[in-house]
Amino acid sequence: MSYDCFADYYDRLMEDVDYPARAEYLLGLFEKFDRRPTLLLDAACGTGSFSLEFAKRGIEVIGADPAAAMLAVAKERALEAGQDILFLCQSAAELELYGTVDGAVCCMDSLNHIVDYEEFCRSLTRIALFLEPGRLFLFDMNTPYKHREILGDNAFVYEQEDLFLVWQNETEDDCTHIYLDFFTPQADGRYVRACEDFSERAYTAGEIAAALDKAGLILEAVYDDMTLSPPAADSQRLVYVTRRRG
């Protein structure tokens, strides 16, 4: 998926996400298990919402994402906010930095979008490679429960004044295929249709643990989303606190 079309609508679909609260939550985890980072990697940064929140809190940020269209939005938003953020057009699996960072995050189930397990492992390995030994990598992932019970083979309709979206899911084994149809009203009464599709994979705890071990990352804690509570049977998103060995 190129995300070229999705970039135009992504922030609209994420309007309910409280980015400031989530940024504070993640920084709280950094401080609980280590310290607040000074140079932070935001892997799969998308349109830069988290990058901006961290930068506003005085942290130097590197945002990386493979979608040029998403990064174009991120760069424009950073410029408008007066924040100097380095954005790189790179996937996590092909990450190449000039040096190390003392903290890393990957937010909003971005790692679920990597459906190939070997690429998933490479992504964790590359992120760990550029993380200082002993420092933290925090990420979240949608759970198998969410894929099975919430997404499933369901369809959703989102209707706003200037956007109509049909979201359809097809779940097969551990993957959910997502099809999006955007309809934007025009001045003459017609609608312009744009389509995107992508897939997400729900990794098991065992698969994640094996990938972390292979990457040289120690699992410090797993929490139910936006809490310090352990995962529940019906948790939809989990937050992982990992530390690079060394």
- Does residue 38 contact residue 101 with C-beta atoms inside 8 Å? no
Residue predicted with more confidence, 211 or 189: 211
- Does residue 149 contact residue 124 with C-beta atoms inside 8 Å? no
Range ranked top by mean pLDDT from 142-146, 158-162, 195-199, 213-217? 213-217
pLDDT in tens, 87-139: 999 999 999 999 999 999 999 999 999 999 999 999 999 999 999 999 999 99
Cα of 21 vs its chain's centroid, Å: 16
Owner of token pair 């380095």: 86
Cα of 163 vs its chain's centroid, Å: 24
Confidence band (pLDDT; 50, 70, 90) for 16?
Answer: confident
Confidence band (pLDDT; 50, 70, 90) for 151?
Answer: confident
Tokens coding 74 = 């991120």
The percentage of residues in the chain with a pLDDT greater than 70, rounded to a whole number, is 97
59/208 Cα distance (integer angstroms) = 28
Q: Is the pLDDT of residue 3 over 80?
A: no
Q: Domains in the chain, start-ordered, CATH in brackets?
A: 6-142+202-244 (3.40.50.150), 146-201 (2.20.25.110)
Q: What pLDDT is recorded for position 173?
A: 83
Q: Looking at residues 58-77, what average pLDDT do you find?
A: 96
Q: Looking at residues 205-210, what average pLDDT do you find?
A: 98
Helix (H) or strand (E) holding 195: strand 191-201
Residue type, 189: G
**Over the chain, what is the mean pLDDT?**
94
Query: Considering only CA atoms, which of 201, 196, 197 is closest in space to residue 211?
Result: 201
Q: What pLDDT is recorded for position 159?
A: 85
Q: Is the pLDDT of residue 15 over 80?
A: no
What are the phi and psi torsion angles at 50 (to 5°)? Answer: -70, -40
Q: What pLDDT is recorded for position 164?
A: 86
Q: What pLDDT is recorded for position 233?
A: 96
Q: Is the pLDDT of residue 6 over 70?
A: no
Name the maximum alpha-carbon separation found in the chain. 63
Element counts in the chain: helices (H) and strands (E): 7, 11
Q: Looking at residues 80-93, what average pLDDT do you find?
A: 98
Tokens coding 66 = 């493979």
Relative to beta strand 103-106, strand 86-88 is unpaired
108/14 Cα distance (integer angstroms) = 10
